[in-house]
Structure 1
Amino acid sequence: MKSQASALLILSLLCGAASAQEMPPPDDYLDKQWTESATPPPPTFDIDHLIPVYVGPKSSLSYGVDPKTLNITLEDRLVRYVMVARSTSGTLNVTYDAIRCATGEYKTYARYNEGSGWTTMDNAEWRPMSGQRMGISYPLALADSGVCVGTVVNGPVSRMIESLKRGGMPEHPLR
């Protein structure tokens, strides 16, 4: 009985080592296989129906995401959304962003100005959500609050919204 258990253990270790050698490194796979889909234009948003996103005690702004703007594109596994940041004086800072859960990155496509509407960001680039100098970034807070489960999109959108309304998913932090 003991020898059978030992043989099974050795066999499972050998199978695991063999399959690990066949898999490409995650970064190589992501870089070679992933292509971003065409970015839809910024959606309309409603500041009266925002779901609050807690960014942290150091933030002087309050953040919220319009649930009707949350969109998952299956081809590239991106989550696009409109985030509204409000200062204590009532000034709004509105962005149209995307989160890439698989790599922990975000991109800002456009900024909204009440007087002139949306302005697209020329040469927008993917940036890491973590490691921000000013504390936690709002994309990381949104990802940890229910948009991502680790490195996976928390789809469908209805589940994402439920998680955000509950105040997040602390048992599955992104970072």
Structure 2
Amino acid sequence: MHYLTQLSLNAAKQWRHRSLWLGAALLTGSALCQAGQATQTGAPADDADKEWSEAAVVLPPAPKPEDLIIFYKSSNLSFAIDKASLSTAGDGTVRYTLVSSSTTGAKNVSYEAIRCETFEHKLYAFGRSDGTWSRSRRNEWDRIASTGVNKQHFTLYSEFLCDGTTVAGKVPYLINRLQGKVTSQDYAH
């Protein structure tokens, strides 16, 4: 009987030892699978190495007064976005027609973009009084300024079009933000 008890104790010890190894192997395998899943669901490594490419620009129709949403006023200027021109491009930019009006009645119309990822804006074209466009000769992205008299780009970036380095949402949501129906603190896009 003593022999059988000793055999049972040895078998139990071996079983416990094997169970611990099996448990450790399963935990390690599970951790590796989860790490693999995290890598697979993230952006592919090739995306980080790809150079950013700007999507083609298609100029919109001239803005209509009923489509303008005023979003910022300074002491002598007001700035509005033409909601009909607001779009998100495949390159991660938000494009829009900006109408700036002075208290004396002067108006400037421009077609522009903001790139949330890099905190930059770009001017594509100037609007003419006959509703046509004159393309900008400058083809550069400029850093958004948060100081100075005209903070329209900073206001668009920080309050309406971007959430950090990403576009804040789809066009209807962006329009709602511009119209004050939702704020930058609302996250139900």
**C-alpha distance in structure 2 between counterparts of 1:68 and 1:161, whole Å:** 10
Q: 1:135 to 1:88 in 2, by over 3 A?
A: closer
Q: Secondary structure at the match of 1:66?
A: strand
Tell me the equivalent position of 2:85. 69
Tell me if the contact between 1:145 and 1:167 (Cα under 8 Å) persists in the aligned partners: no
Q: 1:100 to 1:170 in 2, by over 3 A?
A: same
**C-alpha distance in structure 2 between counterparts of 1:168 and 1:149, whole Å:** 13
Gaps of 5+ in 2: 1-30
**C-alpha distance in structure 2 between counterparts of 1:67 and 1:139, whole Å:** 16
Q: 1:147 to 1:126 in 2, by over 3 A?
A: same
Cα deviation code 1:95-141 (max 9, x no counterpart): 10011011110100001121573111113210011255x24531221
TM-score by length of 2: 0.66
Higher helix share: 2
Tell me the equivalent position of 2:24. none
Q: Which AA in structure 1 matches 2:114?
A: I
Identity %: 32
Q: Secondary structure at the match of 1:67?
A: strand
**C-alpha distance in structure 1 between counterparts of 2:82 and 2:95, whole Å:** 11
The alpha carbon displacement at 1:43 in A equals 3.1
Q: 1:142 to 1:38 in 2, by over 3 A?
A: same
TM-score by length of 1: 0.71
Tell me the equivalent position of 1:98. 113
Q: Secondary structure at the match of 1:89?
A: coil
Q: Secondary structure at the match of 2:117?
A: coil
**C-alpha distance in structure 2 between counterparts of 1:81 and 1:95, whole Å:** 8
- Structure with higher Rg: it is 2
Q: 1:116 to 1:47 in 2, by over 3 A?
A: closer
**C-alpha distance in structure 2 between counterparts of 1:145 and 1:104, whole Å:** 13
Q: What is the Cα-based RMSD across aligned positions, in Å?
A: 2.8
Q: Bigger relative contact order, structure 1 or 2, given CA contacts below 8 A and separation 6+?
A: 1
How many residues matched? Answer: 144
Q: Secondary structure at the match of 2:84?
A: helix
Tell me the equivalent position of 2:102. 87
- The equivalent position to 1:143 in structure 2, one of 131, 134, 157, is 157
**Quick check: 1:54 aligned with 2:69?**
no
Q: Secondary structure at the match of 1:97?
A: strand
Q: Which AA in structure 2 matches 1:60?
A: N
- The equivalent position to 1:119 in structure 2, one of 119, 134, 137, is 134
Gaps of 5+ in 1: 1-10, 24-28
Tell me the equivalent position of 2:21. none
**C-alpha distance in structure 1 between counterparts of 2:101 and 2:140, whole Å:** 24
Cα deviation code 1:134-175 (max 9, x no counterpart): 245312211223211111112210010111111774549xxx
Tell me the equivalent position of 1:8. none
